[in-house]
């Protein structure tokens, strides 16, 4: 079986706007993500969480340091890394099924196989009966399920998720947490998940990497895997509450520093 472990080694990144001075966004970030591990990146706004994810996705060149996935250096986007964005990024003129098979068409998978795969994924994300619907006819939670199904269609080893539930209301968000964990049980992946939400990070992730105010560095890595029982039970335990409080204090300190610098 192919490994999908991720290694960030001394990664720094500077934004160079056309006007104004350069901004150091990331400074010497090193982090190891194990095969099939779910790691959340948590930190104040502007700390470089999404920048780190986009570098991992290959959407921007790595200036300093290296990023590798399954032992191979990242030099650009690839089908081994599937990305789920906050704004769904669906094609409005395509149906649910057409959105899901888009990547499979690019891979030239034969039509009968594509349609079979799309149907399996529609069932996996509980969208039976909506295959012929358009994004405008769906709720926010349903759109995000389509986005996740489209990413899973190409069967990436790694899922990169950039605040995928940030635009959803609290109730839908809770349901999507359950959905994501159920999908991960059925099709385990290595996941790097960017979030501002401390509770979300503790509930979903095996480990949480807290980033400092800009320039982003790794401040601390906290193990958040439940010591006993399921995630559903974990959320009602003292252990969960203590982890949330501990991480909230780490993030709060950095948020105060970030405001001070502004």
Question: pLDDT band at residue 262, thresholds of 50, 70 and 90?
Answer: low
pLDDT exceeds cutoff 90 at 170: no
Q: Are 101 and 116 contacting, i.e. CB atoms less than 8 angstroms apart?
A: no
Residue 234 β-bridge partners: none
pLDDT exceeds cutoff 80 at 261: no
Residue 8 β-bridge partners: 31, 67
pLDDT at 60: 92
Whole-angstrom distance, CA of residue 196 vs CA of residue 198: 6
Buried b (16+ CB within 10 A) or exposed e, 170-182: eebbbebbebbee
pLDDT exceeds cutoff 60 at 2: no
Mean pLDDT score of the chain, rounded to an integer?
91
Whole-angstrom distance, CA of residue 44 vs CA of residue 106: 37
Whole-angstrom distance, CA of residue 96 vs CA of residue 149: 9
pLDDT at 247: 97
Q: How do residues 226-247 score in pLDDT, each as one tens digit? A: 988 788 889 889 999 999 999 9
pLDDT at 154: 87
Range with top average pLDDT, 63-67, 125-129, 152-156, 164-168? 63-67
More confident residue, 86 or 57: 57
SS3 label, residue 210: strand
Question: pLDDT band at residue 187, thresholds of 50, 70 and 90?
Answer: confident
**Taking residues 104-128, what's their average pLDDT?**
89
Do strands 207-211 and 218-223 pair parallel, antiparallel, or not at all (unpaired)?
A: antiparallel
pLDDT at 3: 67
Give first-to-last CA distance, the chain, whole Å.
48
Q: At what angle are helices 170-186 and 140-153 packed, to 10 degrees? A: 20
Whole-model pTM: value is 0.91
SS3 label, residue 62: coil
SS3 label, residue 162: strand
- Torsion angle (degrees, nearest 10) of CA 19, 74, 81, 200: -60
pLDDT exceeds cutoff 50 at 1: no
Question: pLDDT band at residue 183, thresholds of 50, 70 and 90?
Answer: confident
Q: How do residues 197-223 score in pLDDT, each as one tens digit? A: 999 999 999 999 999 999 999 999 999
Question: pLDDT band at residue 26, thresholds of 50, 70 and 90?
Answer: very high
**How deeply is 94 buried, as exposed, middle or buried, from its count of CB atoms within 10 A (0-12, 13-18, 19+)?**
middle
Instruction: Write down the domain spans for the chain.
Output: 1-80+158-163+190-262, 83-155
Q: Which architecture does CATH list for 1-80+158-163+190-262?
A: 3-Layer(aba) Sandwich (3.40)
Residue 32 CA, distance from chain mean position: 16
Q: Is the peptide bond before 66 cis (omega within 30 degrees of 0)?
A: no
């Amino acid at each position: 079986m192919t490994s999908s472990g991720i290694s960030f080694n001394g990664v720094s990144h500077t934004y160079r706007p056309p006007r104004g001075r350069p901004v150091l966004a990331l400074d010497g970030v090193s982090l190891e993500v194990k095969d099939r591990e779910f790691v959340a990146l948590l930190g104040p706004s502007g700390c470089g969480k999404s920048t780190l994810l986009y570098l991992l996705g290959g959407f921007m060149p790595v200036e300093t340091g290296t990023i590798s996935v399954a032992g191979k250096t990242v030099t650009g986007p690839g089908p081994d890394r599937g990305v789920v964005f906050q704004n769904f990024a669906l094609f409005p003129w395509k149906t649910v099924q057409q959105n899901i098979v888009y990547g499979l068409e690019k891979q030239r998978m034969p039509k009968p196989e594509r349609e079979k795969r799309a149907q399996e994924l529609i069932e996996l994300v509980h969208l039976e009966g909506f295959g012929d619907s358009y994004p405008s006819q769906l709720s926010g939670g349903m759109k995000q399920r389509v986005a996740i199904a489209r990413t899973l269609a190409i069967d990436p080893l790694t899922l990169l998720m950039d605040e995928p539930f940030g635009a959803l209301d609290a109730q839908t968000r809770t349901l999507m947490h359950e959905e994501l964990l159920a999908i991960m049980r059925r099709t385990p992946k290595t996941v790097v998940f960017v979030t501002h939400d401390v509770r979300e990070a503790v509930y979903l992730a095996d480990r949480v990497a807290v980033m400092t105010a800009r320039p982003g560095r790794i401040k601390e890595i906290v193990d958040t895997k439940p010591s006993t029982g399921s995630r559903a039970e974990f959320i009602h335990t003292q252990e969960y509450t203590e982890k949330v409080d501990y991480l909230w204090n780490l993030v709060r300190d950095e948020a105060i520093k970030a405001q001070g610098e502004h």
